[in-house]
Amino acid sequence: MPDLLNIELDPAAFREAVTEKAARIVANDILGRKTFVDDEGEEYVEGVGKIMPDLERRVLALVNEAVTKHCDDTMRPIVASKIDTLTIQDTNRYGEAKGKKALTFTEYLVARANEYLSQEVDYNGAAKGGNGTDYNWRAHSTRLVWMISKHIGLSIESPIKAAVAEINKAVAPAIADTVKIKIAEVVAAVTAIKR
């Protein structure tokens, strides 16, 4: 026997359906239009509104905003409750429970994060089997160590590149002038020797 009190709702689909229907009803009412449904279930709109079409867009936006807020206020606690009470059981390929106990969503999330961060990766941060080829794959460090090293490297590299660029801007013209002077001196010396 189905449990009539336990209804599964997709909050996004519910919000979209309610918003669309409510917006259509309000907009048609304000614009003086009437909606009819024929024998085959097709909707038809009759009447031309006297208010500018821009108003319909504004009404749709306001209704969408109101329904979204209402759905968020109503559905957020339901979804949070479902997530808080969700348990995840590791199963084999036949759906039979494996030896581990069922985990709450929070425990599962923490376990997956720990597994992800402690996974061995190569010098490029790719896990074994994660980049499509394991040929020549060598463990470099854990993902967490690799991520920290990469972040530190980028944090150091960016200021150094900026400093080198500033130095090049300041020094390059002086070096170019010095090279021009030295070339002129060499040309003058070679010209003097030829005479």
> How confident is the model over 84-124, as pLDDT tens digits?
888 888 888 888 888 778 888 888 889 899 999 999 988 88
**Is the domain of 152 the same as that of 84?**
no
Residue 40 φ then ψ, to 5°: -95, 5
Q: Which two tokens stand for residue 149?
A: 């090293």
Name the domain count of the chain: 2
- 136 in the Ramachandran plot: left (φ > 0), alpha (ψ -120 to 50) or beta? left
Looking at residue 105, its pLDDT comes to: 86
Higher-pLDDT residue of 114, 45: 114
Q: Is residue 113 part of a domain?
A: no
Q: Is residue 67 part of a domain?
A: yes
Higher-pLDDT residue of 58, 24: 58
Q: Is residue 130 part of a domain?
A: no
User: If we measure between CA atoms, which residue out of 106, 112, 18, 88 comes closest to residue 60?
Assistant: 18
Range of the domain at 47: 11-88
Q: Is residue 21 part of a domain?
A: yes
pLDDT at 1 over 50: no
Q: Is residue 54 part of a domain?
A: yes
> How confident is the model over 49-95, as pLDDT tens digits?
555 566 777 888 898 899 899 988 999 899 888 888 888 888 888 88
Looking at residue 119, its pLDDT comes to: 92
- Domain end (from 44, 67, 88): 88
Residue 124 DSSP symbol: T
Looking at residue 117, its pLDDT comes to: 92
Looking at residue 145, its pLDDT comes to: 92
Residue 1 DSSP symbol: -
Average pLDDT in the chain: 81
Q: How far apart are CA 139 and CA 121, in angstroms?
A: 6
> Which ranges of the chain would DSSP assign to H, the alpha helix?
11-30, 53-85, 105-118, 143-194
> How confident is the model over 168-184, as pLDDT tens digits?
888 888 888 888 999 98
- Domain end (from 39, 72, 88): 88
Global pTM value: 0.45
